[in-house]
Amino acid sequence: MIIDLRSDTVTKPSKGMLDAMMSAQVGDDVFREDPTVNALEERLAKMFGKQKALFFPSGSMANQVAIKLHTNPGEQVVCDKYAHIYNYEVGGVAFHSGASCKLIDGNRGMFTAEQVKEAINPSDYYYSQTSLVEVENTTNKKVYTILQLRLHPSIIALKQKVLNGPKDKVYDVDLTYLTSRGHWYYTSWKGDTSKSGGIASNIGVHFYDMLSWIFGGVKQNIVHLHSHDRASGYLEFEKARVRWFLSIDYDVIPNEIKETGQRTYRSITVDGEEIEFSGGFTELHTKSYEDILAGNGFGLSDARQSIEIVQEIRNSEISPMKDDYHPFAKSAKSKHPFNGGHH
């Protein structure tokens, strides 16, 4: 599978989309007789609380028409230095509208009201008059990733402990994550390994990122188990030897945890010491988005190693369990709820 994130313009229609195109009702849009376009415009006008909406075949065309409507020749548009209208629309602001751009040095495409005020030209007649401020949703040329475990206080503390510890020390780590899922899981896209990558991807990728962030580069990746409801293996990092086990099977959860009414169990031990990791997850996604809005989010390069770990797990041969396996890896296997048999 190839995921191309260069632009939304490289995407191709699926079979369902092509079928919808071929069966769509069409007509002459000039005479307002295309029912599909009319329905689209009416829906968007209602969605945004406007009197009317107008369909354009491209975003650049929509941008240029909007600028033309809001400016007069000789006036100025305030925008970010990375703005699409300035960098990637073949000088359309000048060509179509006879206007110029005043660039703001924003933070990854985001700028403040104070910066806008400073960019507005004085009213003296010899200045180009500012008549429009243009803000774009996607100007920062960055794909953000949600690596929320890096924001957990216990994980931050563990990272600091490793950073401040002996430089040549290699830690022994056991990672256990058990989170029960109902039969809905197997009927969703997550239950289809060809689409989701399986258990290691669905519930493990954030833990692999956490381990990478704390313990450095991967030296060895061994898979002992990878079935419909569990995965287990051994990862060796620059500064850690990790036995890991993941499962969505409720029966694997320790009885003492079940007795508390919990259906999720997380455990990380470092050199035999348990890291407090039971709570503190509720607001991590919110904190991730707040950091992104502040210009401090994590990018694709930050997530690269965890993705590579998952990809290798997904394509690895199952290795026999020796001394480096997680104790839970030998738990009784369960039957797939629909396919039957043990996996």
**Predicted confidence (pLDDT) per residue in 107-125, tens digit:** 778 899 999 999 999 999 9
Average pLDDT rounded to a whole number, residues 249-255: 92
CA 236/CA 238 separation, integer angstroms = 7
CB atoms within 10 A of CB 195: 12
CA 90/CA 145 separation, integer angstroms = 31
CA 185/CA 69 separation, integer angstroms = 50
pLDDT tens digits, 128-144: 999 999 999 876 677 78
pLDDT above 90 (res 310): yes
Average pLDDT rounded to a whole number, residues 134-156: 87
CATH of domain 41-141: 3.40.640.10
pLDDT at 194: 85
Strand order of the β-sheet with 100-104 is 100-104, 76-80, 130-133
pLDDT at 140: 65
pLDDT above 90 (res 73): yes
Domains 41-141 and 144-330 are alike in CATH topology: no
**Per-residue pLDDT band at 50 (split at 50, 70, 90):** very high
Report yes or no on whether pTM surpasses 0.85: no
pLDDT at 341: 52
Residue with the two structure tokens 């020390």: 169
Torsion angle, alpha carbons of 195, 199, 202, 206, to 10: -140
Smallest CA-to-CA distance from 132 within 72, 53, 61 is with 72
Ranges of each domain in the chain? 41-141, 144-330
339, 192 Cβ separation under 8 angstroms: no
E strands, the chain, in order: 76-80, 100-104, 130-133, 144-145, 171-179, 218-226, 230-237, 240-247, 264-270, 273-275, 298-299
Smallest CA-to-CA distance from 251 within 303, 328, 193 is with 328
pLDDT at 139: 65
DSSP classification of residue 135 = -
pLDDT at 323: 84
Q: Topology of domain 144-330, per CATH?
A: Dihydrodipicolinate Reductase; domain 2 (3.30.360)
